[in-house]
Structure 1
Amino acid sequence: MYVDFDKLSDNARIWVYQADRPLADTEVKTVEELLKPALSQWAAHGQPLLASVNVSENRFVVIGLDEEYSLPSGCSIDDSVRTLRNVGQQLGVDFFDRSAAVQLTDESVVTISLPAIKNAVVDGQLTPDTFVFNTLVKTKAEFLTNWRIRAANSWLSRYFKQAVV
């Protein structure tokens, strides 16, 4: 069953998928229009799942699932991944990008590929105080409170330690 994202419990489980490029507003609408029916029918072992989607920053697809309502199965999670992969193919977008997503001072979102992170630190493009998007959030509450964090408080912190050495 589909529910609006704001109606999900704060304990709802979250999966964040990062697009390899910014999405146009029309593409955001398409993502939502394609995922809502899929999430409305999402089930695990015949039990309906209570789920939602939120597209953040025209870059991140956030799928939420209220596990207090019903638990997902490995197959149901795989189904959601396949659905999002199909949506990405239709739009020419890779939603499984693993680059570091950072927010610049002008509020724009850019990605830095994993091989380029060290150079971005050395060049000062990425600093401990740069805001990054915490794609590792696990719950809606964590998404609401720890979505944007300082790079020094993220998985990127190891790069600043290496730069000092």
Structure 2
Amino acid sequence: MYIPFSELPPQARLWVYQASRPFTEAEQTEIKPLMERFATDWSSHGKGLQASAELLHNRFLVLANNEEATAASGCSIDKSVSFVKELEQKFGVSFFDRTQLAFLKDEQVQLVSMQELKSKVAAGEIDQNSLYFDTLINNYGELQNAWPKPAGSSWLSRYF
């Protein structure tokens, strides 16, 4: 069962997928109904999930489920991964490259490779206050209250 993203409870579980590039306006128009259809049909052991999906900052695909209503099973999570892989194929984008970190700078999402991170920190281009899109967040409340969040408040804190 689809529920609007803005109506998710704070404890709703999230899966955040970062695209390797921003989506164009035409692609966003095309992808949004696909995401809503997936969320509408998403189920666990034959029981519909209270699910939603959203594309944030033209780059982050966020799938959500109200776990208090019905928990996502391993099979339903596999279905969501298959859906994301289908989107990769359709739009020629990667959602599974974990070597790219996303920061918000001058109102734009900027990617920094893991290889570049230490040098950017040393040069002062990234510091503990740099806003980081942590794709490891796991609930809607975190997304609403602290996303992006200062890099020093994330797993990146060890670099400062």
Conserved in 2, the CA contact under 8 Å of 1:35 and 1:84?
no
What per-residue deviation string (whole Å, max 9, x for no partner) do you get for residues 56-91 of structure 1? Answer: 111111111011111111010010011011111100
Displacement of 1:30 after TM fit? 2.1
| Residue 32 (structure 2) pairs with residue 32 (structure 1) | yes
Contact 1:135 1:147 survives alignment (8 Å)? no
1:144, 1:4 → 2: CA distance? Answer: 14
TM (normalized to structure 1)? 0.91
For 2:103, the aligned partner's letter is: V
Q: 2:109, 2:94 → 1: CA distance?
A: 16
> Could you tell me the TM-score, scaled by structure 2's length?
0.94
Other-structure match for 1:13: 13
Give, in angstroms, the shift of residue 5 of structure 1.
Answer: 0.4
Query: 1:28 Cα deviation (Å)?
Result: 2.1
CA distance in 1, matches of 2:113, 2:30: 26
Partner of 2:50: 50
Deviation of 1:29 (Å)? 2.4
Matched residue pairs, number? Answer: 159
* CA-to-aligned-CA distance 1:79-124 (integer Å, 9 cap, x gap): 00110111111001111232111011x2111111111111111222
Which residue of the partner structure matches residue 22 of structure 1?
A: 22
Pairs within 5 Å for 1:4-153: 4-98=4-98, 99-104=100-105, 106-153=106-153
Give the AA of the match of 2:124.
G
Q: CA RMSD in A?
A: 1.2
Q: What is the one-letter code of the residue matched to 2:64?
A: G
3-state DSSP class of the match of 2:155? coil
3-state secondary structure, aligned to 2:2:
coil
Q: Is the 8 A contact 1:137 1:146 kept in 2?
A: no
**Structure 2 unaligned blocks of 5 or more:** none
The answer to whether the 8 A contact 1:4-1:52 is kept is yes
Aligned residue type for 1:70 = T
Alignment match, 1:163:
none
Shift of 1:142: 1.0
**Alpha-carbon distance in structure 1 between the residues aligned to 2:77 and 2:62:** 13
Which 5+ residue runs of structure 1 have no aligned equivalent? 161-165
